[in-house]
Amino acid sequence: MVENPNCSYIVLISTNNYSGNFERELTAYVTGCYGECEVGKREANDFLNNVEDDSLFTEIAYCIHDDTASRPCSIWPNADGIYNSVAIFFNDKPLPVEMAIIRDRLSTYNSFRAGQDKDPISINGIELVKVNKPSYTSIGSWDLDR
């Protein structure tokens, strides 16, 4: 986990599973961005093949993970301290169109995972958090049902 991310905003995606099993792949699938380790490259390619606007997600913040690799995301604890959330780091507040893409791509993530013989995960919600070091302030959340 990135303890002190060098960013201004975090998009938190809460799930029903330990997020260390998929946080890099999920981030690459919904943003097209992946870290130096290249985990998520296949998911990023799917993003690039299916999202037409390549000018998005330019404000992703790459933070040094505890293994010294730069990543755009990390596992993150939910309210009860269990690491079931994925944190995606942003230098600036994500654009509304970026949040819409994240939400739309989350709705198809399990179909993509199924093609790789991976178990589905439940997405419980999305929250946008403002980083006010050393604390964090929720500034919005999105219902996944339309």
Q: Is the pTM of this model over 0.85?
A: yes
Contact 94, 59 (CB under 8 A): yes
pLDDT above 60 (res 146): no
Please check whether residue 92 lies inside any domain of the structure.
yes
Nearest-CA neighbor of 72 among 133, 116, 23? 23
Please check whether residue 99 lies inside any domain of the structure.
yes
Domain range for 112: 9-142
Please check whether residue 3 lies inside any domain of the structure.
no
Residue 40 backbone phi and psi in degrees, to 5: 100, 5
Give the model confidence (pLDDT) of 74-119 as tens digits: 999 988 899 999 999 999 999 999 999 999 999 999 989 888 888 8
Please check whether residue 2 lies inside any domain of the structure.
no
Please check whether residue 1 lies inside any domain of the structure.
no
**117 CB burial (10 A radius; 0-12, 13-18, 19+):** exposed
d(CA 33, CA 7): 16
Please check whether residue 107 lies inside any domain of the structure.
yes
Q: Give the count of domains, the chain.
A: 1
